[in-house]
Amino acid sequence: MRSLDRQVDQQVAKKKSSAYVCNDCGADYTKWQGQCSECNAWNTLSEVRMAVIKSPSSTGRAGYAGAVDAEVSLLSEIEIDELPRITTGAGELDLVLGGGLVTGSCVLIGGEPGAGKSTLLLQTLCHLAESHKCLYVTGEESPQQVAMRAQRLGLPTNKVNIMAETSAETVCSTALRQQPKILVVDSIQVMHCEDISSAPGSVSQVRESAALLIRLAKQSGIILLLVGHVTKEGSLAGPKVLEHMIDCSLMLEGSADTRFRTLRSHKNRFGAVNELGVFAMTEQGLKEVANPSAIFLQRGDEIASGSVVMVVWEGTRPLLVELQALVDDSNFGNPRRITVGLDQNRLAMLLAVLHRHGGLMVGDLDVFVNVVGGVKVLEPSADLALILAVVSSFRDSPLPRDLMAFGEVGLAGEIRAVPSGQERLREAAKHGFKRAIVPAGNAPRQAIDGLEVIAVHKLSEALEFIGLQ
């Protein structure tokens, strides 16, 4: 009888020690199911085996956010001290971080293989090691490989401590003993906890390993830099709850056919989001680009139709990029709408607005749109430039090289104002543009030297000005 009860207890404990967690939203379930009830995603549930906790005191979760007591105080009584920041030595990286690294913060840098994540962190760590104690934990490469990369890049390595380890507990104990100011873990997907039986890289291992390292950073004031991999879709691999635990989430983007890399901030508790930093991959590593607009405006000598320059707002600064459109005959029954760097649904909407309020029908033609340089435009200020490029390609009439445009186009054909219009115009004038088509709400109160501003209210006025109506 006792043996039967023991077997039942073991089965119950086994059921309680395992759960099924959604990789997209982090919801957990007691049994597997095909669709997540929270985010309605299919085939995203993974089994997570939990460690058996004998006593509540052994969890080690006290003081998770760095606090050692549970005192209650008024919000007005809390002293607000300016968080000291540590500059990384790279102006573009400091811009994306919001001014530098904050003590006790956790920064996650993701990107595709070969994008330059390890190179960027190694360069940053070698610079910070001159004035701060640093520890580089590598779990994917050997210390010899890291040393060879540093030697190839010509970096000073006499003050950088390195350790090859994949156990999160060992990393935490070593960090408590060494007391570094900056801790780099490359990468979080290879870290594992001894109490969890699942393989490294699983949902439970990534979540618990990250939680252990983040508790270490919060309680000891260590700056934690984590390297994360991405999936085939371009999103961060691992559980979605990982993005909620960290303070900053950076994404390093760039294809193998271009030497430019863009660093974008998706989450930042200490600064603005959607900041964009531009780097160039050279033989000496990643070099920051101080003037990104000059790179993305490398236009050909021959004037071609369907090309126009627009000004997008990235974080806290304007950025000039070239937009190209190609309208061609369709060889299939269903015309194609292909965009690179823009929203495809927005292109379809703007083509309908062009037909209704611009008098131009391209429903039976293929339309291809590309943002030069691999930049992703996520704001609606590119609507007017997109329509002008499409009309220019359709009429085979090149636009002037000194012309730029920006503005949001509504469904009624009106041109709406966009934020930071004055800064966009000054950036265009600085790069030698003579004319600008802007919404009437963004017309400057004072004239800008060398720049003729054409304020328009409707789409028909913009098309009439360039002679494409």
CA 93 vs. chain centroid, Å, equals 13
Q: In this predicted structure, what is the pLDDT of residue 234?
A: 67
Q: Label residue 10 by pLDDT band (50, 70, 90).
A: very low
Give the pLDDT confidence score for residue 125 in this predicted structure.
93
Residue 136: its pLDDT value, please? 95
Per-residue pLDDT, 55? 40
Domain formed by 85-289, architecture: 3-Layer(aba) Sandwich (3.40)
pLDDT tens per residue, range 419-469: 999 999 999 999 889 999 999 999 998 889 899 999 999 999 999 988 766
Q: Which has the minimum average pLDDT: 212-226, 243-257, 402-416?
A: 243-257
Q: What is the pLDDT of residues 138-150, one digit of tens each?
A: 998 999 999 999 9
- 268-312: pLDDT as tens digits: 998 888 788 889 888 888 998 878 887 777 776 678 899 999 999
Percent of the chain with pLDDT over 90: 48
pLDDT of residue 127: 93
How much of the chain exceeds pLDDT 70, in percent? 88
Both tokens assigned to 250: 């950076």
The residue ranges of every structural domain in the chain are 15-50, 85-289, 295-465
* Of the candidates 254, 381, 372, the residue with the CA atom closest to the CA atom of residue 314: 381
Written as one letter, the residue type at 366 is D
Count H helices, E strands: the chain? 12, 23
Class level of CATH domain 295-465: alpha beta
Q: Identify the band that residue 81 occupies on the pLDDT scale cut at 50, 70 and 90.
A: low
Task: Retrieve residue 202's tokens.
Answer: 């699983």
As a whole number of angstroms, the distance between CA 304 and CA 404 comes to 15
DSSP string, 366-418: EEEEEETTSPPP-SGGGHHHHHHHHHHHHHT-PPPTTEEE--EE-TTSBEE--
Task: Look up residue 196 and give its two tokens.
Answer: 């969890």
CB under 8 Å to 300, separation ≥6 — which residues? none
